[in-house]
Chain A
């Protein structure tokens, strides 16, 4: 069991406070940092320059994959492997595949959205260094925590600590990563 520093966390009381702190952390040139909040904060995406989430594309890929596969399956099942004349209709026609394929598109899109969200967020994970901190439990309640990672090039335990305090952060603490 060795302990190394994962980062420094500072606590803020309001969404506006953490948003301003985040702007200053960004302007100070930090790159590896994150804000932990009980709900998404309007404007944080822009401050962190997160751009557009890739989840939408994963969902699109899932939906398209399912749609095309179901069209293919219907052709294979009803026109190729087991052709059966029903009511004199053609063995395969595009309109008849639409409803099942469309329904499965929704299924694929939904699975894609969930799996994409979990994958991009690196979930599920059994543990996160922050979850050991007692104060971090308040993040799901009414506190807002900003973390600057030790991996950051500009990170310095003392300087970063005083920087976070100068931003108005309280309970500035070292977060340890237990390995």
Chain B
């Protein structure tokens, strides 16, 4: 083996075409050309499509969002549709939905790193950004849902003159820790991953302003072997911890539900159910973000069709697990023989008020997802984008059905009621969507949206034992 290393030999030994792994980056660019390509968008002129998307997003984020927020905080939770018996309305639905969107980002970035999937380098950074921004949106909801947002500090264990402490036995209290930790850790992870790329931007900077900003952000990173040595270790540790968070944060959100006595919520499957639903929803959002950006930022050769195919397959896997859980839920509701459980689950699909949402859920999460089995669908970007949007709608309906569907007709018919979101509920949701996309567009424009150093690191040119990496005949392997 030792003296047989040359390109012809490698070609002879390579597996047949259909078994070969797709290259991470297509077109065999040199390392320099790849660096140019990946920094191009952040350094070039702002294109028109960016402004067309940014202006409405910024309007929603800076006008609609604060208007709805301040009106609610100054007036009270009563401006929302929440009222007895449905005390958890769109605020909690959207909270769970946003946490869900976050989860696929961490999963793609951290879990696929631990399993050494090289293709994740190209979309990992964008996934992490999705996580950070959507956790920000998620964290907002419980903070204002408490009604008196100025007392939010009661939730933190701070010594105070009242001499009281939070009650740590409640899953709602665990939520405070979970969401704050998720935000902090995913931001740290995102930031640490960007340090070598800030150095790339620093070294490429042509204006004084860019040079100053990226010099500060890169913190003096030089890329020495000793720095990489510690950096790689820290990265593995952070990936491991982030993977734990994927399974913890939504589990705790699930515990908020299953620790209660409400029919439809009081089930041990909830933590798992919420984790998988979160991941599924996040893959949908990932498709929605990746499909347009790869085209508009001309990254087709970096975020290749093979990567899109893999994201779609992961969405399918998550979708199938979710379908299995639906089956279990309905089966257990029937098998338990509990009248209230049977009533709640029957009314999800055959009730009168929210049955259309129940069928949206079945129609999308169970039926539309199956389209991803077909290679033809997975290789059509338009189809993937539409399926991505639909998955988000489907998962939003699921959250609504779980939260409101169990509350509006509870044990005593005297307590039955209806829930309709008001304009302030909807406005706040539009505001958070706007804020999310505004932050995302700013990220895409100003920060390294693809992990430049990581992508270069998985190229054959970066492997000292590969002919393209300069390995000579006779090199020890």
Give residues in A with beta carbon < 8 Å to B. 13-19, 34-45, 48, 50, 52-56, 59, 73-74, 77-78, 81-82, 84, 86-87, 89, 96-97, 99-100, 102-104, 106-107, 109-111, 113-114, 116-118, 120-121, 123-128, 130-131, 136-142
Contacts and interface: CB of A to CB of B under 8 A. Distances in A.
B269 interface: no
Residue picked from A34, A74, A116, A141, most chain B C-beta under 10 Å: A141
Given A97-B168, A118-B219, 5 more contacts: A15-B461, A59-B237, A103-B177, A123-B220, A140-B199
Interface stretch (B41-49, B338-346, B403-411, B449-457): B449-457
Interface stretch (B15-23, B244-252, B260-268, B421-429): B244-252
A131 B202 CA distance: 10
A116 B181 contact: no
Interface SS majority for chain A: helix
A17 B192 CA distance: 29
A59 B237 CA distance: 8
Contact of B167 (A15, A78, A81, A123): A78
Interface in B437-469: 453-454, 456-457, 461-465, 469
A38 B469 contact: no
B67 interface: no
Contact of B189 (A110, A123, A139): A110
A37 B223 contact: yes
A41 B464 contact: yes
Nearest to A91: B169
A123 B223 contact: no
B56 interface: no
Nearest to A60: B237
Contacts of B245: 106
A87 B196 CA distance: 52
A140 B196 contact: yes
Interface stretch (B93-101, B224-232, B369-377): B224-232
Contact of A89 (B169, B237, B244, B252): B169
Contact of A38 (B30, B181, B223, B237): B223
A110 B229 contact: no
A36 B222 contact: yes
Contact of B200 (A82, A127, A140): A140
B163 interface: yes
A117 B234 contact: yes
28 contacts: A14-B464, A14-B470, A16-B469, A38-B35, A38-B223, A38-B457, A39-B462, A40-B229, A41-B225, A42-B464, A43-B464, A44-B225, A44-B228, A48-B229, A73-B157, A77-B166, A81-B165, A89-B169, A100-B174, A106-B185, A106-B245, A107-B181, A114-B238, A125-B219, A125-B220, A131-B222, A140-B203, A140-B204
B173 interface: yes
Nearest to B173: A100
Contact of B237 (A77, A113, A137): A113
A141 B463 contact: no
Given A97-B168, A106-B244, A48 B225 contact: yes
B188 interface: yes
A38 B31 contact: yes
B330 interface: no
A39 B461 CA distance: 11
A99 B169 CA distance: 10
B413 interface: no
Given A36-B224, A37-B223, A117-B234, A104 B188 contact: no
B227 A121 contact: yes
A41 to B, nearest CB: 6
Contacts of A106: 181, 185, 241, 244-245, 248
A78 to B, nearest CB: 5
Residue picked from A18, A19, A39, A96, most chain B C-beta under 10 Å: A39
A172 to B, nearest CB: 18
